[in-house]
Amino acid sequence: MASKAHPIPSVWARRQREPEQPALSREAIVREAIAMLDADGVDALSMRKLGARLNAGATSLYRHVATKDELMELAVDEVFGEIDLPAADSADWRAATTRAAQSFRTTTLNHPWLASVLGTAGLAYLGPNLMSFSERLAALFTSFGFPEPSRAIDTVLTFVIGISTSEAAWLTTVARSGETEAAFIARLMPAAQEAAAGHAVLAESYAAAAATAAATDPAEIRDSKFFYGLEVVLDGLALRLPH
């Protein structure tokens, strides 16, 4: 006799129970959870703290969301709805890809916790916003004529997620310092240059970085790094397009 199959561990595969408290909706729970995540990060979020913020007990929350993992799935899907993707008939593939990548980066920086939890947001991305995002991105890259659109998409997303994760972590560190980014860098640079003493290439690099940081808005420097890397990725993808 075959054993009973275990349920799929995803909020999107579970039928939602009828709520006993109409005033407390899943949407309200997710909105408040995102606000907590944006303010304090993943480790600070708990069902107990969330219930306190909503003036509801944890039991009331569990009627809408069974576990914290489900809550994270819902939060990730909600945030993906903020990403702006061009239409599939965009004429300029590089401009369209740049716009999509830039919007993904902006969303990640607006929600610094996002990139760190993408790999744990359920076994499959089944939420409506994530499904729409995947569908529209696939249609976009297919319209560009890439012979393997899924691989081209993975290449762009890997770059954007990678650099955005580092950037979000950096900005979180700056925020915790209570200083502006420029002031934090100015305080950090002397220690970095001292640590690089005796390493000729690094010392020269840090000296140049210190001079640039003193004369340039840190946000402009971060933008420059992002667009440089993206241009390199797009240059490589261009070689895969049929001539």
**pTM for the predicted model, two decimal places:** 0.83
CB under 8 A, 24+ apart: contacts of 139-144:
139/88, 140/85, 140/86, 140/87, 140/88, 140/90, 140/96, 140/97, 140/100, 142/88, 143/88, 143/89, 143/90, 144/93, 144/96, 144/241
Q: pLDDT tens digits for the chain (243 residues)?
A: 555 667 677 776 766 655 444 568 899 999 999 999 999 889 889 988 998 898 887 677 888 888 888 899 999 999 999 999 998 877 899 999 999 999 999 999 999 999 888 766 544 568 899 999 999 999 999 999 998 999 999 999 999 999 999 999 999 999 999 999 999 999 999 998 899 898 999 999 988 988 888 889 999 999 999 999 999 999 999 999 887
State the architecture of 11-80 in CATH terms.
Answer: Orthogonal Bundle (1.10)
Domain ranges (residues) in the chain: 11-80, 93-238
CATH topology classification for 93-238 = Tetracycline Repressor; domain 2 (1.10.357)
**Tens-digit pLDDT profile for residues 132-179:** 999 999 999 999 999 899 999 999 999 999 999 999 999 999 999 999
